[in-house]
Amino acid sequence: QVQLVNSGGGSVQAGGSLRLSCVGFGYSYSPYCMGWFRQAPGKEREGVAAIGMDSSTNYADSVKGRFTISQDNAKNTLYLQMNNLKPEDTALYYCAADLWGSRPCHYTDYDLFAYWGQGTQVTVSS
């Protein structure tokens, strides 16, 4: 059974940094695509970043230059390094995985991702 476990959220002041982690269980090969998503109260889910098995990445404009997605396939772990955090980054952050791949890996393609973590809260104060 595939399971994704998020960790690393917390509360920081604007300008601070956090690193989120997502450990995958139940599979032993590199996923085709993994991504980070977030949802703030009263807002729709928003794609943040995605990384393919070839390590290609793509980012939402709102986080480009501040967030970095990476993965350690030996540890089945996905990361999101978040720097220069802003209050508008406050949200529940989820990781997600597509293990097989049927179309290009992109953070806007929510339906690509079959497996989702439980979420971790990030709160940024001004």
pLDDT in tens, 99-118: 988 789 999 999 999 999 99
Query: Percent of the chain, pLDDT > 90?
Result: 88
Place of tokens 């179309």: 103
Which pLDDT score is estimated for 18? 98
Which pLDDT score is estimated for 27? 87
Place of tokens 């230059």: 65
Helix (H) or strand (E) holding 12: strand 10-13
pLDDT at 28 over 90: no
Q: Which tokens go with 58?
A: 């793509």
pLDDT of 32-53, one tens digit each? 999 999 999 999 999 999 999 9
CB-facing half-sphere around the CA of 121: CA atoms within 13 A: 4
Report phi then psi at 45, rounded to 5.
-60, 140
Please state, in angstroms and as integers, the Cα–Cα distance from residue 96 to each residue in 10, 18, 111, 122, following that order: 19, 19, 10, 17
Which pLDDT score is estimated for 100? 86
Helix (H) or strand (E) holding 96: strand 91-98
